[in-house]
Amino acid sequence: MGIIISFVFAAYAFVSSIICVIVYMISKSNKALAISVALCVLVPFYDVVPTRIIANKYCQIEPKSKIDKIVEYPKSVYVEINSSDKDEIIYNLRLCGEFDEAMLDGIHVEKMAVNCYGEIIQKEFDTNSSDYKQYINLISQYQNLHTDESAQFDFYRKNEKAIEETKFKITKRNVVEKDRDIIKNYNYSIIINKSEKISDSLFENAFYHIVNVSIVENKTEKEIAFWKMYIRNREATFIFPEILMPHFADDYQFTNKVCGKIQEIEKVFDMDKWGFDFSSLFNYRIYLR
């Protein structure tokens, strides 16, 4: 990475020098030369000052994340991913397709529906299938080893084919019609709103967007968990974004998150005991714009 940055810097410096020389030869003016040099120096850093000002403005009132309730057996979960950026469709479809891989285990979560751009895919297990008991037996053994990661990994490696093949056989997949009452068929909802405007200012929105993640208990309509994050737009960078932007978070270089706590969906559903590493699967895709 350092070699690439050095090469880009050298190439930019070389081109800038040529531009400054041409400006001076044409204008024969020291003032014009000084202006061209100043512009060439400042252009790579054009986003540093405004992004720092905007970040400081919003991070001073850092959004408060919360987890009010832990639910180990949610049983049924509805997921909705909203984004105003149409370029994200393909990328988010991958995210949509992986939710059930991480959560649908037949014990803690028996039914899931994922709403991605209007199409709702519902997945659940056929409990009447002759393979259902075999799958539950395998996945129970896997989950019971959660305190010993090495043993759990070895078990999954040895039984991966049987687990995946059996899961595929008993999984029922349906496209569900969207209506206002569909959420009532599920105990909990995970709502991810990506690419929301940071404010009414076009200038601020050019540099940042907001990602909101909330979990709602559908029966009571109570929000039991919430995370709000300010994310720097990829297109708001120029030559050296990684070394020039303010690093407000340890995971900044991976997520472009400037402030706000990262989502912890796996904590709400106590997935450390039974699920996969949800954060490593989804953080990057949730944040990326």
Locate 27 and state its tokens: 């204008």
Half-sphere exposure of 169 (CA within 13 A, CB side): 15
Give residue 86's pLDDT. Answer: 52
Give residue 192's pLDDT. Answer: 87
Task: Answer for the pair 194, 237: CB distance below 8 angstroms, yes or no.
Answer: no
Give residue 161's pLDDT. Answer: 93
Q: How confident is the model at residue 244 (pLDDT cuts 50, 70, 90)?
A: very low
Q: Is the pLDDT of residue 281 over 80?
A: no
Mean pLDDT in residue range 93-121: 81
Q: How confident is the model at residue 34 (pLDDT cuts 50, 70, 90)?
A: very high
Q: How confident is the model at residue 68 (pLDDT cuts 50, 70, 90)?
A: very high
Q: Scanning the structure block, which residue is given the tokens 């370029």?
A: 87
DSSP state of 192: E
Angle, helix 132-144 to helix 149-170, in steps of 10 degrees: 160
Determine the Cα–Cα distance for residues 287 and 210; give it in Å rounded to an integer.
Answer: 9
State pLDDT tens for residues 17-27. Answer: 999 899 889 98
Locate 28 and state its tokens: 């024969």
List helix spans (H) across the chain.
2-27, 30-42, 48-59, 89-103, 132-144, 149-170, 202-205, 241-244, 252-255, 265-268, 278-287
DSSP state of 268: H
Q: How confident is the model at residue 239 (pLDDT cuts 50, 70, 90)?
A: very low
Kindly report the backbone phi and psi dihedral angles of residue 181, in degrees, each rounded to the nearest multiple of 5, phi listed first: -95, 0
CA nearest neighbour of 54 among 195, 252, 233, 283: 233
Q: Is the pLDDT of residue 234 over 50?
A: yes
Q: How confident is the model at residue 283 (pLDDT cuts 50, 70, 90)?
A: low
Q: How confident is the model at residue 189 (pLDDT cuts 50, 70, 90)?
A: very high
Q: How confident is the model at residue 88 (pLDDT cuts 50, 70, 90)?
A: low
Give residue 4's pLDDT. Answer: 65
Locate 69 and state its tokens: 């309730």
State pLDDT tens for residues 200-219. Answer: 888 888 888 888 899 999 99
Q: How confident is the model at residue 252 (pLDDT cuts 50, 70, 90)?
A: very low
Mean pLDDT in residue range 100-104: 83
- pLDDT: which is higher, 94 or 280: 94
State pLDDT tens for residues 131-187. Answer: 999 999 999 999 998 888 899 889 989 999 999 999 999 999 888 777 777 888 899
- Mean pLDDT (the chain) is 79
Give residue 286's pLDDT. Answer: 53
CA nearest neighbour of 46 among 232, 239, 204, 210: 239
Instruction: Report the relative pairing of strands 119-125 and 208-217 from DSSP bridges.
Output: unpaired
Determine the Cα–Cα distance for residues 65 and 264; give it in Å rounded to an integer.
Answer: 10
Long-range CB contacts (within 8 A, 24+) of 271-274:
271/102, 271/103, 271/108, 272/146, 273/72, 273/143, 273/146, 274/72, 274/105, 274/107, 274/108, 274/143, 274/146
Give residue 212's pLDDT. Answer: 87
Mean pLDDT in residue range 258-266: 79
